[in-house]
Structure 1
Amino acid sequence: MFQPLLEEGLRQTMRQLVRPLLSNAVPLALQRKLVRQAYRTSVPPKNVLFRKDDLGNVPVLRAQSTRPTTGTLLYLHGGGYIIGSAATHKGIAGHLAKLTDCEVIIPNYRLAPEHPYPAAPNDAESVYMALISQGKPASGIAVAGDSAGGGLALVLAMQLRDHGHPLPSSITCFSPWTDLTNQQLYAPEIEPVLHADWIINAAKMYAGDTPLTNPVISPVFGDLKGLPPLLIQVGSQEILLNDATRIAEMAKRDRVETTLEIYNNLWHVFQIHSGQLKRATEALSVAAGHIKRHLAG
């Protein structure tokens, strides 16, 4: 009985507190400030240590459990490429650090509109290549991300492939934003988190002069051949459901090992509630299994 009540309470919290913040009527600077406060409810587990660092001239946050690490997870935070940071995603990163026994690296990649494309993928690639230059094998590195960070994870892998660099062992995407044209958004009966007009505006700020149909902006229009095994998790109560299903179809078309999981009656990046909401905790455990399974041991 407790879990259904908690789920409904969290859904209402997202609808009444978070969704109103993600509005074009709210100044971007204020959005960034308020979202930082909202993410305080996403709490990392105990026995996970955080420290700031710099990799490839990009500031990062490192998360590591007290157990010995068995690999590295590069985690790319969401926020429509215009808000969010490593600090806002300490909760989900901490849970992944504990569940995977990986050191989780969360880059503070540059945000639009101050830094439109290609700042974000260039920063992500700089961090990844810095890990490689430090002697970490690509087979021991996994990449994950949520929302815009999920799309960025795919763009990073495509960019690494096209630049002739070794690819990570796997990719994990939570509610990925993969089509910034936003022309095939899903229409759920309830959308507790996102406004369509907000993500449309964010896409314009991020893309700048680059066409929204360019695969470096919208990976759903790209060639995914040769990418590592892919896990996609998405809720049924979000306008980005079609982004997840379409990229999964494209990946399977391109013969990428792909798993798509749709969680009924859950919302955008519900995994941030891991440690509180049982279904979120279970989903993150599945993601951790995917990551661990493909890491070179």
Structure 2
Amino acid sequence: MLQNVLEASLRQTMCRIIRPWLHPALPVSLQRSLIAQAYRSSVPPRASRFTSVSIGGIPATRTEHGQPGTGIVLYLHGGGYIIGSSSTHRGLTGHLAKASERAVITPDYRLAPEHPFPAALEDAEAAYEALLTEGHDPASIAIAGDSAGGGLTIALAMRLRDKGRPLPGSLAVLSPWVDLTHEHLYSPEREPVLQPRWIDKAARLYCGQELRTHPFISPIFGDLNGLPPLLIQAGSEEILLNDARRLADRAAQQGVDTNLEIYNSLWHVFQVHAGQLDRATDAIKVIASHISQSQAR
């Protein structure tokens, strides 16, 4: 009963505060500041440790909880490629570090419009290559990300494969944004977080002079063959639900070990409420299990 009340309260918070802030008329600089304040409600587990580091020349945050075991998670934060940071996602990465018993590295990749495509992809690649240089076994590295970071996760894996580089042990994407053409957006009865006009503005700022169908911008148009085991999570109350479904279908058709989870009556990147909302906490545990099982293969 209490969880139902909490879920309803969080949904109203998303609708009344977060969604209005993600309006195309608001300057990106203001949105960055507002969203940074909003993410303070996403609380990491007690005793989480956050260290500012540099990975491949990219500023990043290393998140640890307890005594990290073998393996590491490269986490790519969301925010439409224009907002968000390793700091805004401390709640989520803290719970992921606890559940996975791994250190989580979250790079502050360059954002648009100051740095349009391919800056974010280049920074994500530099961070991954730095992990290899540090001596991490590729099979022990998991790449995960939410929203734009989910699309970036898939694009990075494709780029690494195309270059013949060692691939990570697993991929996990939360409410992935993998089709920036927005020709197949889902129409839920309610969408507590995202506005189509805002994600369209973000896509325009990120793409710059590149076509939105570029496979490293919209991975749904790319070749997914040979990618590592893939976990996809999405809520039923989000306009990006079809991105998740189409990604799962395409990946499975191309031989990728794929698992799609749709959480009924939850919203875009609901996992930020881990530690408060039981279903969000459980979703993080599923991600941790996926990472562990993939490494053991």
Same fold (TM over 0.5): yes
1:43 aligns with 2:43: yes
Identity within the alignment, % = 58
- Aligned partners of 1:216 and 1:210: how far apart in 2? 10
1:56 aligns with 2:63: no
Query: Counterpart in 2 of 1:135?
Result: 135
Displacement after TM superposition at 1:214 (Å): 1.0
1:200 aligns with 2:200: yes
SS of residue in 2 equivalent to 1:34:
helix
Give yes or no for contact 2:113–2:205 (8 Å, CA) kept in 1.
Answer: yes
Displacement after TM superposition at 1:65 (Å): 1.2
SS of residue in 1 equivalent to 2:89:
helix
Query: Counterpart in 2 of 1:232?
Result: 232
Query: Counterpart in 2 of 1:212?
Result: 212
- Aligned partners of 2:145 and 2:50: how far apart in 1? 18
Give yes or no for contact 2:153–2:171 (8 Å, CA) kept in 1.
Answer: yes
**Could you report, residue by residue, the CA deviation over 1:85-116 in whole angstroms, capped at 9, with x for unpaired residues?**
00000000000000001110000000000000
SS of residue in 2 equivalent to 1:19:
helix
- Aligned partners of 1:70 and 1:134: how far apart in 2? 14
Task: Return the letter of the residue paired with 1:194.
Answer: L
- Aligned partners of 1:278 and 1:141: how far apart in 2? 27
1:120 aligns with 2:120: yes
List structure 1 runs of 4+ shifted beyond 2 angstroms: none
Query: Counterpart in 2 of 1:11?
Result: 11
Give yes or no for contact 2:236–2:264 (8 Å, CA) kept in 1.
Answer: yes
Give yes or no for contact 2:73–2:141 (8 Å, CA) kept in 1.
Answer: yes
- Aligned partners of 1:264 and 1:12: how far apart in 2? 16
Name stretches of at least 5 consecutive residues in structure 2 with no aligned partner. none
**Could you report, residue by residue, the CA deviation over 1:214-251 in whole angstroms, capped at 9, with x for unpaired residues?**
10110000000000000000000000000000010110
**Could you report, residue by residue, the CA deviation over 1:25-73 in whole angstroms, capped at 9, with x for unpaired residues?**
2111110000000000001001211100111110010001122322100
Task: Return the letter of the residue paired with 2:9.
Answer: G
Query: Counterpart in 1 of 2:250?
Result: 250
- Aligned partners of 1:277 and 1:130: how far apart in 2? 35
**Could you report, residue by residue, the CA deviation over 1:196-215 in whole angstroms, capped at 9, with x for unpaired residues?**
00001100100111110110
Displacement after TM superposition at 1:296 (Å): 4.8
Query: Counterpart in 2 of 1:284?
Result: 284
Task: Return the letter of the residue paired with 2:284.
Answer: L
Task: Return the letter of the residue paired with 2:55.
Answer: L
Task: Return the letter of the residue paired with 2:232.
Answer: I
Name stretches of at least 5 consecutive residues in structure 1 with no aligned partner. none
- Aligned partners of 2:220 and 2:198: how far apart in 1? 20
SS of residue in 2 equivalent to 1:53:
strand
The 5 A counterparts of 1:72-87 are: 72-87=72-87
- Aligned partners of 1:103 and 1:2: how far apart in 2? 32
- Aligned partners of 2:78 and 2:18: how far apart in 1? 14
Give yes or no for contact 2:68–2:103 (8 Å, CA) kept in 1.
Answer: no
In the superposition, the TM-score normalised over structure 1's length comes to 0.99
- Aligned partners of 1:97 and 1:70: how far apart in 2? 12
Give RMSD over aligned pairs.
0.8
- Aligned partners of 1:270 and 1:8: how far apart in 2? 12
Task: Return the letter of the residue paired with 2:158.
Answer: M
Task: Return the letter of the residue paired with 1:262.
Answer: I
Query: Counterpart in 2 of 1:90?
Result: 90
- Aligned partners of 2:251 and 2:169: how far apart in 1? 16
- Aligned partners of 1:88 and 1:261: how far apart in 2? 24
Displacement after TM superposition at 1:294 (Å): 1.4
**Could you report, residue by residue, the CA deviation over 1:237-270 in whole angstroms, capped at 9, with x for unpaired residues?**
0000000000101100110000000111000000
In the superposition, the TM-score normalised over structure 2's length comes to 0.99
SS of residue in 2 equivalent to 1:295:
helix
Matched positions, count: 297
Q: Name the stretch that deviates more: 223-232 or 18-27.
A: 18-27
